[in-house]
Structure 1
């Protein structure tokens, strides 16, 4: 009788805005690792026709909907970043739905380990579902510079996002591994490959 393959262990991958966590995740995926993105799960649970979107519109009003019925993220973001109580209301609604979506997606993994990418891995408590944590770290000035180049947003909004995200120090306290991404994409990919080969030697995420 064949023994069933062991269940993949879960690596939590996180980093502040503009740290390069998405680029790192893409390279892990290119190496054949099953990657689940918490941001994608968060988008999926508020798609038109899903119950969460109707509840958000009922609570905040139709101003948070676009003409086509999709969620207007920037309108919602403006409301919740200026009001911690509204942000807590939204998190209480969405976090359990996102958690279920992530768990269902991770359960489909066929690779030796799977990755949960989340900007709020530490803050949301999602790290408790992982066996190991990789933090993509970058100096804050570089995070802001990269985000300004990438997104059509203001430095003020980036600073507001940085305030909501865990501090670098807090993230690094939780980290099993740290990848400092202060160079170019090639250097990042080389580090990802090095970590990938190391992770393939682990059982359950621990040496």
Structure 2
């Protein structure tokens, strides 16, 4: 089974590519979805988060207060590192559990926004696929879909790996700048043909 690490900056179209790979037969392990489960009401990570950051990090429903945590992380880089130190081991455990549960699939895709930043992920996958787009396009897409202020989106982009850093670890790059859904799907299908159907690098 080929293990593919899929990554890209916010607004790059990574989730769309993940869905297209699933449609071709890949299993998907989504680390963002796992993180949301861990920090939902009653999530496994919430007791440790409350202990580390106090009750102000916990929303009224018992989930992680994402807005407060985002503001804290942007203002204090050590807070972000502390949160990741709590979450990453739990995410890793759940990733491997889900990977095993997929059984016999031709490829397993790990959707990892912080693949470059975490470094450990490069050793866990056979290939890295980067979805790349300009920061202007990222900004436009995220503002349109989320309603976040532009400054908030820029702050998120700044906190993530640069485009050059992602491309430096990539085995393949899809430039999702002006591609429509059909053209993007064709790019994904071509990559699937090489990597999975033909087993080529």
Compute the TM-score of the two structures, normalised by the length of structure 2: 0.92
- 1:72-108 deviation per Cα after TM superposition (whole angstroms, max 9, x unaligned): 2111111112101111111111111111111111122
- Structure number with higher helix proportion: 2
Match in the other structure for 2:28: 35
Following the alignment from structure 1 to structure 2, what is the Cα–Cα distance between the partners of residues 156 and 122? 23
Match in the other structure for 1:5: none
Q: Given that residues 2 and 196 in structure 2 are in contact (C-alpha distance below 8 angstroms), is that contact kept between their aligned partners in structure 1? A: no
Q: Does 1:116 align with 2:110?
A: yes
| Structure 1, gaps ≥5 residues long | 1-7
Report 1:104-183 matches (<5 A): 104-109=97-102, 110-125=104-119, 126-183=121-178
Show structure 1 runs of 4+ deviating over 3 A: none
Moved more, 143-152 or 101-110: 101-110
Q: Given that residues 41 and 61 in structure 2 are in contact (C-alpha distance below 8 angstroms), is that contact kept between their aligned partners in structure 1? A: no
- 1:27-72 deviation per Cα after TM superposition (whole angstroms, max 9, x unaligned): 1112221011110111122233344201212222222222221222
Structure 1 residue 140: Cα displacement: 1.3
Following the alignment from structure 2 to structure 1, what is the Cα–Cα distance between the partners of residues 45 and 198? 38
Q: For the aligned residues, what is the CA RMSD?
A: 1.5
Following the alignment from structure 2 to structure 1, what is the Cα–Cα distance between the partners of residues 81 and 7? 21
Moved more, 105-114 or 90-99: 105-114
Compute the TM-score of the two structures, normalised by the length of structure 1: 0.90
Following the alignment from structure 2 to structure 1, what is the Cα–Cα distance between the partners of residues 137 and 160? 16
Match in the other structure for 1:19: 12
Match in the other structure for 1:58: 51
